[in-house]
Amino acid sequence: MLSLDYNNRFIHDILTERFQTANPSSIDQVVTDFDGVTFHISTPESKTKILISLYMKCFSELVNYGTLDLLNQIYGPYVHNPVENGYNFSIVIDLEQLPSTQEEREQLIISASLLKRNALAAPFHGAFAKQAELAEVVKKDPESTVLVNKKSVAENHMAIHYRDEEMIFLWPEHDRVTVVFSTRFLEEADRIFGKVFLQEFVDARRRPSIQTAPQVLFSYRDPPLEIRDVCGIQNEHDDTGFVTFVLFERHFTPQVREDCISHIQIFRNTLHYHIKASKAYMHQRMRKRVADFQKVLNRAKPDVEMERKTASGRSFMHA
């Protein structure tokens, strides 16, 4: 998958094509998504029943945060049991029993292509719900604010090992939900570009037009104090950075909550995409500059005199 969309475009395109054809063919495709996620799209029983299975490295952690309940709620009758061997969750779509309206069919296609996004959304929904509970507690007893927040960080933090050696941390407080990404920069150039890019996030809120955006903090090698001891982070690598998003209540109201979850999930992919794009642009500029210098050097070469002869045999030098 090459796109930075929230949904898997491969699944989206396959289902769109299958919903429109009168004579579907069999399929057996393994699709790799970002963050080591794998999909298996197949028709094991018949050509009209499409089985879509999901594998995520961190799925066992997500189950503890309510992912199964959320997925069963979203996909309902499409959930396939038992789950395909080697995968964490499966849904099956019968082409002979599709929704009657075109709008409902399009919604089913989008929902199926958002399988990974929905699986990773459960911890965010849980954090938002817990924040609402803490807000009610503090509203009744304002003097307990510090104690409530400190206890929440210790008891309600969630850690998701969604990539090798990289994690997502969430914890709610009475007026906010904090999300921390740990990300590794394997090359020195990546670290330099990453710092520049993330500093733009930090400085962006100084502009009057986007002061309502979430607060963004960046620390290199040192994790935030709130999770340094609570989550037992041991930063064994010198190339790890921590990006913190502070989401206030206005950022996850019921009207914008789903968009908030979708946007923040692909932050890591967006960051590294722009790092690679910046490196490619710099290399292109450097290659162009080298080519320009080469032309200058070629023009600066002295002309070589060549000996020529006339028809009569006389010699003369020709520049």
- Asked if residue 86 belongs to a domain, the reply is yes
Assess whether 79 and 150 both reside in one domain.
no
CATH code for the domain of 252:
3.30.1460.20
Assess whether 199 and 215 both reside in one domain.
yes
pTM for the model: 0.84
pLDDT at 225: 81
Assess whether 151 and 261 both reside in one domain.
yes
Which residues face 242 on adjacent strands? 182, 219
**Tens digit of each residue's pLDDT (9 = 90 or more) over 20-54:** 888 888 999 999 888 889 999 999 989 999 999 99
- Asked if residue 313 belongs to a domain, the reply is no
pLDDT at 231: 55
Assess whether 166 and 263 both reside in one domain.
yes
Assess whether 108 and 124 both reside in one domain.
no
Assess whether 20 and 91 both reside in one domain.
yes
Assess whether 135 and 245 both reside in one domain.
yes
- Asked if residue 142 belongs to a domain, the reply is yes
Classified as helix, coil or strand, 93 is strand
- Asked if residue 286 belongs to a domain, the reply is no
Beta strands in the chain (DSSP E): 28-32, 38-42, 49-55, 89-94, 158-163, 166-172, 176-184, 215-220, 240-248, 306-309, 315-318
State the residue range of the domain holding 264.
118-278
How many domains, in total, are found in the chain?
A: 2
Does residue 229 surpass a pLDDT of 60?
A: yes
Q: Which residue has the higher pLDDT, 238 or 63?
A: 63
CB 92 within 8 A of CB 51: yes
pLDDT-derived band at 73, boundaries 50, 70, 90: very high
- Asked if residue 90 belongs to a domain, the reply is yes
pLDDT at 2: 40
**Tens digit of each residue's pLDDT (9 = 90 or more) over 128-150:** 999 999 999 999 998 888 899 88
- Asked if residue 129 belongs to a domain, the reply is yes
Rounded Cα gap, residues 43 and 92, in angstroms: 9
Assess whether 60 and 166 both reside in one domain.
no
